[in-house]
Amino acid sequence: MLLQLCVSSTYAAKGGLVIFTANSNPSSRELGRRIAERLGVELGKVQVYQEANRETRVQIEESVRGKDVFIIQTISKDVNTTIMELLIMVYACRTSCARNIIGVIPYFPYSKQCKMRKRGSIVSKLLASMMCKAGLTHLITMDLHQKEIQGFFNIPVDNLRASPFLLQYIQEEIPDYRNAVIVAKSPASAKRAQSFAERLRLGIAVIHGEAQDAESDLVDGRHSPPTVKNIGAIHPSLEIPLLIPKEKPPITVVGDVGGRIAIIVDDIIDDVDSFLAAAETLKERGAYKIFVMATHGILSSDAPRLIEESAIDEVVVTNTIPHEIQKLQCPKIKTVDISMILSEAIRRIHNGESMSYLFRNIGMDD
């Protein structure tokens, strides 16, 4: 009884737990409902809606003073409105004297814009600064496009992994997965494929020579401004050597996929052209089944239709992003629930427990 009283007084000093969902889209509240059920709590009462002039309005309908507030935000099709909903809700909780404000953002928006291109900007750094300025004290996310994005924040960032759930799906839902090979659709994703292959004790194949993604070209900004010889700036006898322009080699597959199940792994599947080209190449090399495993299934535009008409047998994504409409358009799309690890992260942070359990067996390169 004494121990129970001590624990109760400790919780009273810490403050309670409140979970909000910031997205006004009903389909995006499903993840928040799942997390709340696992934690045995009810979702906090809040109104999030758009005014007639498209301004976002947030009205919190319960006290958050001295409490740990967790704001779950999934990214809907209208990304910028989603971001404003999150920022306004965070600021509302801050001005209402919440003890801690933790953002649960499974898919971090603008994560592909994390490197400099010509005269562009690093948008994910800007977004990180906006979140911190609004009052966020902690961030929970999943499978950042680049792990270095964590360095854009001056608050703690827990970058959880969806790979245990995807690996479990492979082992339980693909009966002859032992005859599979893990495929990287480009050399850039070879590290992720290697991680899957080593955990499943399978072979690996890498597709090389496909069209480069736009984000891989001129990413470091050193091509800006355009290279010109300025005789007045440098000595006439000095000539700066220029890089030889790249030439895309013919498509090759490094590794044996003949008579195997090919499992393509990546972190994001949005524009599916590169996945379709990889699937065609693998079919030509003798793969008899092709699966695509990705954490974030954005699947924008006509991606569902293209997948349905392609050589891909199944696309497996997690519910970090709502995609109910895409599943209706394409039965090949399957969903893996990751609410369990998010709810456990929330519980541990609220109770002040170590997060290392959620990162066990995860190396520096994973």
pTM summary value:
0.86
Contact 34, 28 (CB under 8 A): no
> So what's the pLDDT on residue 41?
94
- Segment 140-153, tens digit of pLDDT: 999 999 999 999 99
- Segment 37-80, tens digit of pLDDT: 999 999 999 999 889 999 999 999 999 999 999 999 998 888 99
pLDDT at 11 over 50: no
pLDDT at 14 over 50: no
Per-residue confidence at 233, pLDDT binned at 50, 70, 90? low
pLDDT at 117 over 60: yes
pLDDT at 5 over 70: no
Per-residue confidence at 248, pLDDT binned at 50, 70, 90? confident
Contact 219, 121 (CB under 8 A): no
pLDDT at 213 over 90: no
* Block residue for tokens 């524009």: 271
Helix segments in the chain, DSSP class H? 2-14, 30-39, 79-95, 123-134, 163-173, 190-200, 273-284, 303-308, 324-329, 339-351
Per-residue confidence at 4, pLDDT binned at 50, 70, 90? very low
Per-residue confidence at 309, pLDDT binned at 50, 70, 90? very high
Which of 31-45, 85-99, 116-130, 241-255 has the lowest average pLDDT? 241-255
